[in-house]
Structure 1
């Protein structure tokens, strides 16, 4: 699943894996606040609180995109059963990855917008600006849908 994250980067030493955490998110826009809170508490536990602002912005955009664009129109927005969106945070010694899984097979697209005051349409541009790299890939096996991820280099890792 993480092969795209390795392209163009020094190899990840399996011994350098520190932690991972994930949470299921209900199909409601209020879930974005919950994702930010989960991110804040997880980063604090990992002693990465200084990364919170950039990471939280990216998490907010990825979760919002999943809720807005990746859920079928008939997805019940009030139920808690089998949440279709999941946030994963993975921490290595020198990297942090935020990944959002959703049920859509559609490619996330950065939409061009000339209107700088537009309320929406800039999410993936923000992800690209605040993370070191991002991408997506379809899921295989028993899981369907895709994962959209963003990578942050920590400390002094070279770009």
Structure 2
């Protein structure tokens, strides 16, 4: 199993990332990594939302991306601000749809939009990074 990496970021806070297989079981590993990072940073109040968001982002990448791996990234751009995201090898942008009660899928990005302060996508030369930010200050 790949080991998570920790690096200092420009904000001075560490960030965590891990390359995972592009398979549904990777969502559990991604949730654990988010919970560990938030615990280390003393932001446990964001752990449930962060874990749910990363699960949705991993699920989207598993369903729609290419190649055999994805990368989960957890950054801390500010003292109480956390960005969780998934990097994959597809340039196809995610589309937020209105949830259809008749379908089991299609609710993930709507849920991300409800839980996150903000979310977005950044295109990369070989794929994209889909991310969401949580702000501990906004929840207190």
The answer to whether the superposition gives a TM-score over 0.5 is yes
Q: State the alpha-carbon separation in 2 of the partners of residues 156 and 111 from structure 1.
A: 26
State the partner residue of 2:6. none
What does residue 152 of structure 1 align with?
A: 134
Contact kept? 1:35, 1:87, Cα under 8 Å = yes
Q: Which residue of 2 aligns with 1:89?
A: 74
Structure 2 gap segments, 5+ residues each = 1-9
Deviation at residue 146 of structure 1 after TM alignment:
0.3
Structure 1 partner of 2:108:
123
Using the alignment, how far apart are the partners of 2:22 and 2:59 within structure 1? 10
Moved over 4 A (4+): none
User: Computing the radius of gyration over CA atoms, which structure comes out larger, 1 or 2?
Assistant: 1
Counterpart in the other structure of 1:105: 91
> Which residue is 1:134 aligned to?
119
Q: Tell me, in whole angstroms, the C-alpha distance in 2 between the residues paired with 1:156 and 1:64.
A: 27
Are residue 47 (structure 1) and residue 15 (structure 2) matched?
no
Which residue of structure 1 lines up, in the alignment, with residue 52 of structure 2? Answer: 57
Residues 37-76 of structure 1: CA deviation (Å, up to 9, x unaligned): 11111111111112111111101000110111112xxx5x
- For 2:61 and 2:119, the matched residues in 1 are separated by 15
Q: Tell me if the contact between 1:17 and 1:93 (Cα under 8 Å) persists in the aligned partners.
A: no
User: Could you state the TM-score of these two structures normalised by the residue count of structure 1?
Assistant: 0.74
RMSD: 1.8
Contact 1:136 1:149 in 2 (8 A): yes
Unpaired stretches in structure 1, ≥5 consecutive residues: 1-13, 76-82
More strand by share: 2
User: Do the aligned partners of residues 106 and 156 (structure 1) sit closer, same or farther apart at CA in structure 2, a change above 3 Å counting?
Assistant: closer
